[in-house]
């Protein structure tokens, strides 16, 4: 603290004497002599050369005398303290307290600097890495080692740290942290949840990801999951595969068995999804991030004080509705498909799987080993961590309608006759009366829904489906103005997957930019109470100097010799008030009015003395006026009191 106070003392001694306050002037005189002050002022005012070579002998003597006087004053002060033990103890106590206070201040500043350094290091780490993503999922974030051989086998992107993943996706690291962070309670949800009716009854719960999370899932799907080969028995959500390719191996079989896995997507939880990415060669950190991006925390929506909150549950699993979920299930079920295919082949069955639908078929017409197959299938499914749905097990003989993923496969792949008849009836009514008031499977856009079903029929049976597709196109041409208006209202935009594949940020429907996650502000060095007080003191002193400089005109600045002469001339000649400020004019007016008032008081006392034929009132009035001149205070009140007393005494 002593080093911080030295510049202020030095700057105070460099000030001209006319600008020093009383305390500064006394402090300056105590540290020097009269001759030194005179020499300093002569140099400042230009009466002594300041840029001369070596100082003269007289100057050296004056400086040395000032130093000796300072030393003598110091020794005298010490001697006085020694002679008074109580004073010496008080001084020692003050010194110890000052030293302790200075030490405490230095310790506080040191601790503040250490905290600031730790905060800077933590901020730098947050800007380049992710170290925490919530309770229960952050244990492996410090392990970044990858298996490059496994990654090279499928030509997967070599991602080692979280910053590499964020850069590859094309998003900031803060957004990646926001998308994958697991919170117990949040006001934001990355999914929209709704239910759709099933064909067999009941409801299917869909969790559709928000666009920015869907962008990340599409990147994971296209750059990682799509490069991993699946088992040949899998047909769901794969290129060049469909429900038709899943049904063709079972056409014309003697027996067809359909099984279903219960709660297929929700049963695949976060640890298994993370294990999929680790098996591909990624380290714990990247596998954790990818697993969190592709899974959903089960939440319950509650409202408190009209505010919506999402309270997280204990389960985190694959969302049914995310673009990455089907491919993850195909990779995860590779072992399941392999074991079921082997077991089915040994017993003379054909096996295929479309998502959670398992299909087995056999050509053996006499006593096929259905029971043995079902027993083995149940054992394998339970061993792989899945549950077989007890109500969706169907064994269809050749004499019955054999249906696989909605396609009838008794002799050739065909469409269900009842649905096809209902389709023809709806198409006929639309051709006869127009599309207004009609719908297909609950869809009010009847032409679009009918066209979609016609294309489905074309996929299964092109000969039967092409004429219907042409009739629907003719209906669209007939009612073109109506649908042209709808198309103009909703112009075609590039799909989200196309935008992600081209490396662009997905566009919002309203054309505005997406809300961006803001990084935390840079940490600020904490100041101690003493530093804050010193800064306030400096600010107050600066404001005081500014006000003083603003109130003082250029004509009376003390650092210019000519202006000082003008100030003296203005003081000597009160009539010359052109260069005076308002405060100086008020002061001059008060002095003039005071002089006139005292003259009036003397005249009043003289008149009163003449009327009373006594010199006492005049004498007392002159005396009180003289006292007022000496003290600088008004004597009008005292003169009036004196006159009243004189009247009382003389009466």
pLDDT value at 296 more than 90:
yes
Q: Is the dihedral of CA 217, 218, 223, 228 positive or negative?
A: positive
- 251 falls within a domain: yes
Confidence (pLDDT) at 599 = 74
- The answer to whether residues 424 and 403 belong to one domain is no
Q: Are residues 273 and 204 in the same domain?
A: yes
Looking at 55, 90, 113, the residue that finishes a domain is 113
Q: Are residues 161 and 287 in the same domain?
A: yes
554 within some domain: no
Question: What pLDDT is stored for residue 630 in this prediction?
Answer: 61
Q: Domain limits at 75?
A: 2-113
Q: Are 68 and 209 contained in the same domain?
A: no
Q: Same domain, yes or no, for 598 and 636?
A: yes
Lowest mean pLDDT among 30-44, 359-373, 389-403, 571-585: 571-585
Average pLDDT across the chain, whole number: 82
CA distance 625 to 131: 87
Which pLDDT belongs to residue 489? 46
The residues that bridge with 191 in the sheet, in sequence order, are 209
3-state secondary structure of 649: helix
Confidence of residue 563 (pLDDT cuts 50, 70, 90): very low
Closest to 340 in 3D by CA, of 261, 225, 440, 420 = 261
Task: Give CA separation, 210 vs 182, 443, 494, in Å.
Answer: 16, 24, 17
Residue 462 lies in a domain: yes
The dihedral sign for the CA sequence 237, 242, 243, 246: negative
Relative to beta strand 255-260, strand 357-362 is antiparallel
Residue 5 has pLDDT above 60, yes or no: no
**Whether pLDDT at 471 is above 80:** yes
Same domain, 73 and 10: yes
- The more confident residue out of 467 and 499 is 467
Does 219 lie in the same domain as 82? no
Same-domain status, 398 and 448: no
CB 440 within 8 A of CB 426: yes
Least confident window among 4-8, 142-146, 206-210 = 4-8
Q: What is the pLDDT of residues 418-429, one digit of tens each?
A: 888 999 999 888
- Domain-embedded: residue 133: no
User: Would you say 395 and 402 are in contact if contact means Cβ atoms under 8 Å apart?
Assistant: no
Cβ atoms of 598 and 625 within 8 Å: the answer is yes
Give me the residues paired with residue 300 across strands. Answer: 311
Which residues have C-beta within 8 Å of that of residue 73, sequence separation ≥ 6?
Answer: 30
Measured CA to CA, the distance from residue 121 to residue 124 in angstroms comes to 5
Per-residue three-class SS string for 107-121? HHHHHHHHHHHHHHH
Q: Are residues 172 and 310 in the same domain?
A: yes
Rounded average pLDDT over 127-138: 90
Q: Which helix (H) or strand (E) element contains residue 328? A: helix 325-332
Say if residues 215 and 506 touch (Cβ distance below 8 Å): yes
Into how many domains does the chain fold?
A: 4
Q: Which whole number is the average pLDDT over 45-57?
A: 63
Strands (E), 388-488: 394-397, 403-404, 407-408
Q: What does the alpha-carbon distance between residue 623 and residue 635 come to, in Å, rounded to a whole number?
A: 10
Is the model's pTM score more than 0.75? no
**Mean pLDDT of all residues in 313-327:** 92
Query: For residues 276 and 445, is the Cβ–Cβ distance under 8 A?
Result: no
List phi, psi (to 5°) of 186.
-145, 155
CA distance 248 to 243: 9
- Name the domain boundary from 389, 408, 427: 408
pLDDT in tens, 515-560: 677 777 888 899 999 999 999 999 999 998 888 888 876 555 544 4
Does residue 39 lie in a domain region? yes
Q: Alpha-carbon torsion 613, 617, 623, 625, what sign?
A: negative
Instruction: Characterise 561 by phi-psi region: left (phi > 0), alpha (psi -120 to 50), beta (else).
Output: alpha
- CA distance readout (Å), 232 to 49, 340, 354, 439: 103, 12, 11, 38
Same domain, residue pair 398 and 434? no
Q: Going by C-beta distance under 8 Å and a sequence separation of 6 or more, which residues neighbour residue 460? A: 244, 407, 413, 414, 415
Would residue 404 count as lying in a domain? yes
Residue where one domain finishes, among candidates 455, 479, 501: 501
pLDDT tens digits along 83-103:
778 877 888 899 899 999 999
Mean pLDDT across the stretch 172-191? Answer: 91
Q: Tell me the CA distances in angstroms from 452 to 408, 458, 468, 571, one per residue in order.
A: 19, 10, 11, 103
Per-residue confidence (pLDDT) for residue 634, from 0 to 100: 55
Please indicate, yes or no, if residue 545 is contained in any of the structural domains.
Answer: no
Residue 248 to residue 352: CA distance in whole angstroms: 10
Is 467 within a domain? yes
How far apart (Å, rounded) are the C-alpha atoms in residues 530 and 261? 71
Q: What is the pLDDT of residues 398-440, one digit of tens each?
A: 889 999 998 999 988 998 888 889 999 998 888 888 888 888 8
Q: How far apart are CA 125 and CA 141, in angstroms?
A: 13
Q: Strands, E, within 225-330: which ranges?
A: 255-260, 296-304, 307-317
- Residue 313 confidence (pLDDT): 87
Q: How far apart are CA 585 and CA 574, in angstroms?
A: 9
* 174 and 46 within one domain: no
Least confident of 183-187, 304-308, 631-635: 631-635
- Asked whether residue 357 falls in the same domain as residue 433, the answer is no
> Strand, coil or helix: what is 558?
coil
Q: Comparing 578 with 380, which gets the higher pLDDT?
A: 380
- 343-397 residue pLDDT tens: 999 999 999 999 999 999 999 888 889 999 999 999 999 999 999 998 889 999 9
Question: Is the pLDDT reported for residue 322 higher than 90?
Answer: yes
What Å distances lie between residue 502 and 215, 222, 554, CA to CA? 12, 12, 69
Q: Flag whether pLDDT at 565 surpasses 50.
A: no
């Amino acid at each position: 603290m002593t080093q911080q106070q030295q510049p202020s003392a030095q700057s105070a001694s460099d000030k001209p004497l006319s600008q020093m306050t009383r305390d500064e002037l006394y402090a300056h005189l105590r540290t020097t002599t009269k001759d030194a002050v005179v020499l300093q002022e002569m140099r400042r005012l230009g009466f002594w050369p300041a840029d001369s070579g070596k100082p003269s002998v007289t100057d050296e003597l004056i400086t040395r005398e000032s130093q000796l006087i300072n030393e003598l004053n110091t020794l005298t002060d010490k001697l006085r303290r020694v002679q008074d033990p109580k004073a010496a103890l008080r001084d020692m106590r003050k010194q110890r307290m000052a030293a302790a206070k200075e030490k405490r201040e230095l310790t506080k500043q040191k601790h503040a600097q250490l905290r600031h350094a730790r905060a800077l290091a933590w901020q730098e780490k947050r800007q380049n890495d992710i170290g925490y993503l919530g309770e229960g999922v952050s244990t492996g974030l410090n392990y970044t080692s990858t298996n490059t051989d496994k990654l090279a086998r499928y030509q997967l992107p070599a991602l080692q740290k979280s910053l590499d993943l964020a850069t590859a996706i094309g998003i900031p690291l803060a957004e990646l942290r926001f998308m994958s962070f697991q919170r117990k309670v949040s006001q934001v949800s990355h999914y929209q949840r709704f239910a759709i009716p099933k064909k067999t009854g009941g409801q299917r719960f869909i969790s559709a990801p928000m666009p920015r999370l869907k962008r990340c899932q599409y990147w994971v799907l296209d750059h990682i999951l799509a490069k991993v080969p699946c088992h040949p028995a899998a047909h769901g959500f794969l290129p060049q595969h469909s429900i038709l390719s899943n049904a063709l191996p079972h056409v014309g079989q003697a027996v067809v068995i359909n099984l279903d896995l219960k709660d297929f997507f929700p049963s695949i939880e976060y640890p298994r999804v993370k294990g999929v990415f680790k098996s591909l060669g990624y380290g714990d950190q990247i596998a954790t991030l990818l697993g969190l991006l592709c899974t959903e925390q089960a939440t319950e929506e509650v409202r408190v004080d009209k505010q919506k909150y999402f309270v997280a549950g204990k389960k985190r699993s694959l969302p049914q509705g995310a673009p990455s979920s089907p491919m993850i299930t195909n990779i995860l079920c590779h072992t399941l498909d392999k074991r079921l295919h082997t077991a089915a082949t040994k017993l003379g069955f054909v096996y295929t799987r479309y998502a959670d639908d398992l299909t087995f078929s056999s050509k053996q017409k006499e006593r096929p080993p259905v029971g043995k197959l079902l027993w083995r299938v149940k054992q394998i499914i339970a061993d792989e961590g899945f549950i077989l749905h007890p109500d969706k097990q169907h064994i269809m003989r050749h004499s019955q309608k054999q249906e696989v993923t909605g396609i009838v496969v008794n002799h050739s792949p065909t469409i269900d006759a009842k649905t096809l008849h209902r389709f023809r009836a709806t198409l006929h009514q639309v051709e006869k009366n127009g599309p207004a008031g009609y719908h297909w499977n609950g869809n009010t856009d009847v032409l679009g829904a009918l066209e979609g079903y016609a294309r489905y029929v074309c996929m299964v049976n092109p000969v039967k489906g092409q004429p219907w597709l042409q009739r629907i196109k003719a209906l669209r041409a007939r009612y073109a103005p109506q649908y042209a208006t709808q198309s103009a209202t909703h112009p075609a935009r590039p799909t989200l997957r196309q935008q992600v594949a081209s490396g662009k940020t997905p566009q919002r429907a309203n054309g505005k930019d997406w809300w961006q996650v803001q990084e935390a502000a840079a940490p600020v060095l904490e100041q101690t109470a003493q530093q804050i007080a010193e800064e306030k003191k400096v600010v107050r002193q600066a404001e005081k100097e500014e006000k003083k400089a603003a109130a003082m005109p250029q004509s009376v600045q003390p650092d210019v010799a000519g202006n000082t002469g003008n100030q003296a001339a203005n003081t000597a000649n009160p009539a010359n008030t052109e260069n005076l400020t308002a405060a100086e004019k008020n002061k001059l007016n008060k002095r003039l009015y005071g002089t006139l008032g005292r003259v009036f008081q003397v005249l009043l006392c003289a008149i009163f003395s003449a009327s009373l034929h006594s010199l006492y009132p005049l004498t007392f009035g002159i005396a009180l006026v003289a006292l007022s001149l000496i003290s600088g205070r008004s004597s009008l009140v005292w003169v009036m009191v004196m006159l009243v007393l004189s009247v009382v005494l003389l009466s």
